[in-house]
């Protein structure tokens, strides 16, 4: 988990999620981060890669039905450690 949280997109999403009462944000928020920080990249492809790595790293969960991203179980404790 920790190596992924050193990457800017993952770190920015994690920080945004921690600020939310239910620890969830809209997909559009992440797409905006991608567009603003990586304007020359295909934002849909980057989001898909982000979503796969988030799931693989057990960081975030993406619900396709609600288009919400939430923190995976146990990540808040990890994030609190550093």
Express each pLDDT in 29-60 by its tens digit: 999 999 999 999 999 999 999 999 999 999 99
| pLDDT score of 80 more than 90 | no
Q: CA 42 → CA 25, 27, 39, 51, 68, distances in Å?
A: 21, 15, 8, 14, 20
Residues 12 and 34 sit within 8 Å (Cβ to Cβ): no
| pLDDT score of 72 more than 70 | yes
pTM across the whole model: 0.86
């Amino acid at each position: 988990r920790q190596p992924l949280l050193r990457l800017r997109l993952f770190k920015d999403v994690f920080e945004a999620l921690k600020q939310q009462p239910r620890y969830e944000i809209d997909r559009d928020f992440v797409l905006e981060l991608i567009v603003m920080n990586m304007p020359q990249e295909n934002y849909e492809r980057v989001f898909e890669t982000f979503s796969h790595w988030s799931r693989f790293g057990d960081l975030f969960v993406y619900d396709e039905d609600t288009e919400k991203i939430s923190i995976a179980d146990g990540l808040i404790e990890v994030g609190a450690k550093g």
